[in-house]
């Protein structure tokens, strides 16, 4: 037996984990230990700092409820969620629409909305029309694709943040027509601050970050045989369009509503046309970086 | 604005964190983001794996109670606690006794035990005598050093694991004499498995690790002007002496009780002599890698 050193301890951990049978778990944990130890050595992490981190992680876990996923929020503000999304996009054999974060406000049980209907059930504000076509990467229509969308109301709140999520609003599922076309009415969303009253908020404030996301509309689009697309459209005139605190914005996802769009199927409403391209499915793995928080807690 | 890529997203995060005023927090978070992103890129972390990790971290946080610190346990089995200890030892200007993990069973309010007394209040089993001297690194005695020690009973349980920690046992604080000498009676500890009924246990089992720690006695030794020493002595004949699941064993901390020690102050009891060397304090930072779990939750 030898005395462990600040370098040999890493080797000792890797050796002890060699008994892992699942090759992918073995690979992930070995890489994690190497990078985690490199991090601690690089910054010469002190016992007090380590204990602060333990306390932070503990509070983050304890802040999680069926209505709130504080660890996803942490991953978001560290850019890890965006990176995992981008890594997933890179595995597609062909380039579909750029993905973006699913975020913590997705729900599986949103109401169906007919073509031309509105996802605003109770909320009031300036209307917006979203329309376009869902195609494959060659531009061929995907008939009957399901477009799930959700967003804040015109005051910057998701339904789940109002009265404990008592009422469903500003979310809906639209079925495209036989040409893959959709049009749906909504309200103009407002940008908002991520929840800053928890441990992640403490961190973001200590980093002097504004903690804001630019106004956006979430989309989850699927059709049999195609890779599920998780993305969002961002309003170009939002003051935080260049500094999204969770790194979800890509240039290709920035839109600017047009007051007079001659091609709009519902003239008179400011319109955003966006055509989504779905890549073919290569496997059964989900592209969702994020989940209904109720699922995470139940896992 | 540009589309983020799997490499430029890291730059974007580092830029947004540049506003952090505290230079140490800025340094730590920048290094963490670099290493965390490198890890995700190295293993090409998938959305499903990421979500599994989010669920694991959430359950780890929610398993923490005043009597249990599951995140410290996670840090322990990943060798991070041992590494932070070793990094701290390396900052000492002179070499004291090798440190070891404080672990999750330390309590601040252990009873005082006189020299020659026993820390076994109720527990039964084969007795052991611990004796020796606390000195500085040059061998000069440290008068009145306080030796806090705690361990399992002879069946492998800490008091805190029995009846919800209703009774304090197998822990005590001994004050050295004017020559820095101590002697105290205890029971021969038994090795044990870390708690395997939580998320960390799931991981350890999936790694086919035995999850055991060799039999040991914890020490926390302090005296004004000296760096607090957190260490442990390990019994050399334990079957897991070479494969401690939390990487706390160093060759210098392995002891073998002697049935007939002519120098023992209490002949007739198997004895372990160990002299502890304290390094001079250089600052006020604690060397405790670990804490009373009640403190972490209250932080």
A23-42: average pLDDT? 98
B135 inside domain: yes
Q: Are residues B205 and B242 in the same domain?
A: yes
Mean pLDDT of B232-246: 96
Q: Decide: A181 and A175 in contact? Cβ < 8 Å.
A: no
In a domain, A96, yes or no: yes
**Together in a domain, A40 and A103:** no
- Residue A83 and residue A289: Cα distance in Å, rounded? 10
A238-243 contacts, C-beta under 8 A, 24 or more apart: A238/A191, A238/A214, A239/A191, A239/A214, A240/A191, A240/A210, A240/A212, A240/A213, A240/A214, A241/A214, A241/B1, A242/B1, A243/A210, A243/A212, A243/B16
Distance (Å) from the alpha carbon of A43 to chain B's nearest alpha carbon: 6
Q: What is the average per-residue pLDDT within A116-142?
A: 96
Domain count across chain A: 2
Helix (H), strand (E) at residue A13: helix A8-16
- Are residues B176 and B75 located together in one domain of the fold? yes
The complex's ipTM works out to 0.90
Q: What does the pLDDT read at residue B119?
A: 98
Q: Positive or negative CA dihedral for B152, B158, B163, B165?
A: positive
Has residue A53 been placed in a domain? no
Which A residues in the span 29-68 are in contact with B, Cβ-Cβ below 8 Å? 29, 31-33, 35-52, 54-55, 57-62, 64
A241 CB near a chain B CB, below 8 Å?
Answer: yes
* Mean pLDDT value across residues B140-151: 97
Q: B82–A299: do the CB atoms touch at under 8 Å?
A: no
Question: Distance between CA B72 and CA B293 in Å, rounded?
Answer: 9
Where does the pLDDT of residue A295 fall: very low under 50, low under 70, confident under 90, or very high at 90 and above? low
Residues of chain A contacting B207 with CB distance shorter than 8 Å: 16-17, 19-20, 25-26, 29
Would you state the pLDDT for residue B2? 73
Q: Do B85 and A58 touch (CB under 8 A)?
A: no
Residues A136 and A6 reside in one and the same domain: no
B144 and B242 inside one domain: yes
Residues 6+ apart with CB under 8 A from A108: A292
- Average confidence score pLDDT of chain B: 92
Chain B contact present for A4, CB below 8 A: yes
Question: Is the per-residue pLDDT at B85 higher than 70?
Answer: yes
Q: Is residue A57 part of a domain?
A: no
Counting one residue from chain A and one from chain B, the pairs whose CB atoms sit within 8 A come to: 271
Residues A90 and A136 in one domain: yes
Query: Which of A27, A45, A287 comes nearest B47 by C-beta?
Result: A287
Check residue B299 and give its pLDDT. Answer: 45
**Is 60 exceeded by the pLDDT of residue A196?**
yes
Q: In terms of domains, do A119 and A240 share one?
A: yes
| Of B299, B182, B38, the residue nearest A55 (C-alpha) | B299
Does residue B54 sit within a domain?
no
Q: Do residue A246 and residue A207 come from a single domain?
A: yes
**Residues in chain A closer than 8 A to B54 (CB atoms):** 69, 71-72, 75, 296
DSSP state of B290: S
Adjacent-strand bridge partners of A131? A183, A273
pLDDT the model gives residue B290: 63
Residues B30 and B122 in one domain: no
Give me the residues paired with residue B148 across strands. B173, B220
Taking CB atoms and an 8 Å cutoff, what residues of chain B touch A75?
A: 50, 54
Per-residue pLDDT, B255:
98
What digits encode the pLDDT tens for the residues A229-271?
A: 999 999 999 999 999 999 999 999 999 999 999 999 999 999 9
Q: Which of A29, A45, A61 is the last residue of a domain?
A: A45
Q: Is pLDDT of A221 > 60?
A: yes
Measured between alpha carbons, how far is B55 from B37 in angstroms, rounded to an integer?
A: 19
* Bridging pattern class, strands A127-136 and A181-187: antiparallel
Phi, psi of A157 (to 5 degrees): -120, 140
B49 falls in which pLDDT band (50, 70, 90)? Answer: very high
Q: The CATH number of the domain where B145 resides is what?
A: 2.60.130.10
What three-state secondary structure class fits A192? strand
The C-alpha of A172 sits at a distance from chain B's nearest C-alpha, in angstroms, of 24
- Return the closest-CA partner of residue A247 out of A293, A206, A204, A277: A204
Q: Cβ separation of B38 and A35 shorter than 8 Å?
A: yes
- Chain A: closest CA distance from residue B27 (Å): 7
- Helix (H) or strand (E) holding B133, with range, is strand B127-136
Are residues A207 and B242, on separate chains, in Cβ contact within 8 Å?
A: no
* From A131-135, B116-120, B158-162, B264-268, the region with the lowest mean pLDDT: B158-162
Residue A54 in any domain: the answer is: no
Same domain assignment for residues B239 and B292? yes
Q: Please tell me the predicted confidence (pLDDT) of residue A241.
A: 96
> Is residue A58 a part of any domain in this protein?
no
Residue B13 domain boundaries = 1-45
In this prediction, residues A47-76 reach a mean pLDDT of 93
pLDDT at residue number B108:
86
Of A43, A84, A299, the CB nearest to B27: A43
**Reported confidence tier of residue A162, pLDDT bands at 50, 70, 90:** confident
pLDDT band at residue A109 under the 50/70/90 scheme: confident
Residue A67 pLDDT > 90, yes or no?
Answer: no
Residues A83 and A197 in one domain: yes
Which of B57, B209, B213, B254 to mutate: most A Cβ within 10 Å? B57
Which pLDDT does position A299 carry in this prediction? 45
- What is the spatial distance between Cα B87 and Cα B92, in angstroms, rounded to a whole number? 10
> What is the pLDDT, as a whole number, of residue B25?
98
User: Given this model, what pLDDT does residue A105 score?
Assistant: 87
CB contact (8 A) between residue B83 and residue A296: no
Q: Is A2 on the interface with B (CB under 8 A)?
A: yes
Could you tell me where the DSSP H helices lie in B147-299?
Answer: 199-206, 293-298
With CB atoms and an 8 Å threshold, state whether A249 touches B28: no
Contact: B91, A44; criterion CB under 8 Å: yes
- For position B268, what pLDDT does the model report? 93
The answer to the question of residue B55 being in a domain is no
For chain B, give the percent of residues with pLDDT over 90: 80
Our CA-based measurement puts residue A261 at a distance from the nearest CA of chain B, in whole angstroms, of 25
Comparison of pLDDT for B165 and B212, the residue scoring more: B212
CA A18 to chain centre: 34
Shared-domain flag, residues A196 and A83: yes
Q: What percent of chain B has pLDDT over 70?
A: 94
Of B49, B91, B247, which is closest to A28 when you measure between CB atoms? B49
Kindly report the pTM of this predicted structure.
0.90
In order of A119, B149, B253, the CA distances from B131 in angstroms are 76, 12, 14
Q: Looking at beta carbons, which residues of chain B come within 8 Å of A85? A: 47
Residues of A within 8 A of B91 (CB-CB) are: 44
pLDDT above 90 for B3: no
Report the gap between the CA of B59 and the closest CA in chain A (Å): 7
Are B192 and B160 contacting, i.e. CB atoms less than 8 angstroms apart? no
């Amino acid at each position: 037996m030898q005395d462990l050193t600040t370098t040999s301890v890493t080797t000792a951990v890797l050796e002890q984990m060699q008994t892992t049978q699942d090759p992918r778990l073995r690979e992930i944990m070995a890489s994690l230990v190497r990078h985690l130890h490199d991090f601690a050595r690089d910054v010469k992490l002190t016992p007090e700092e380590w204990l602060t981190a333990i306390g932070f992680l503990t509070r983050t876990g304890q802040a999680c409820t069926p209505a709130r996923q504080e660890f996803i929020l942490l991953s978001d503000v560290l850019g890890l969620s965006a990176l995992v999304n981008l890594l997933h996009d890179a595995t597609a054999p062909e380039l579909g629409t750029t993905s973006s974060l699913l975020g913590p406000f997705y729900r599986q049980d949103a109401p169906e909305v007919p073509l031309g209907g509105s996802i605003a059930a109770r909320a009031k504000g300036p209307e917006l029309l979203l329309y376009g076509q869902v195609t494959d990467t060659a531009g061929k229509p995907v008939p009957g694709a399901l477009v799930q969308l959700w967003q804040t109301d015109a005051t910057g709140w998701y339904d789940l943040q109002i009265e404990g999520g008592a009422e469903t609003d500003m979310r809906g599922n639209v079925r495209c027509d036989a040409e893959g076309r959709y049009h749906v009415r909504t309200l103009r969303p407002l940008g908002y601050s991520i929840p800053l009253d928890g441990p992640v908020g403490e961190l973001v404030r200590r980093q002097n970050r504004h903690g804001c996301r630019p106004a956006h509309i979430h989309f989850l689009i699927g059709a049999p045989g195609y890779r599920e697309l998780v993305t969002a459209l961002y309003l170009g005139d939002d003051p935080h369009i260049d500094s999204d605190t969770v790194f979800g914005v890509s240039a290709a996802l920035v839109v600017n509503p047009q007051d007079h769009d001659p091609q709009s199927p519902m003239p008179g409403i400011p319109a955003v046309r966006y055509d989504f391209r779905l890549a073919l499915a290569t496997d059964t793995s989900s592209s969702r970086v994020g989940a209904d928080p109720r699922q995470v807690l139940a896992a």
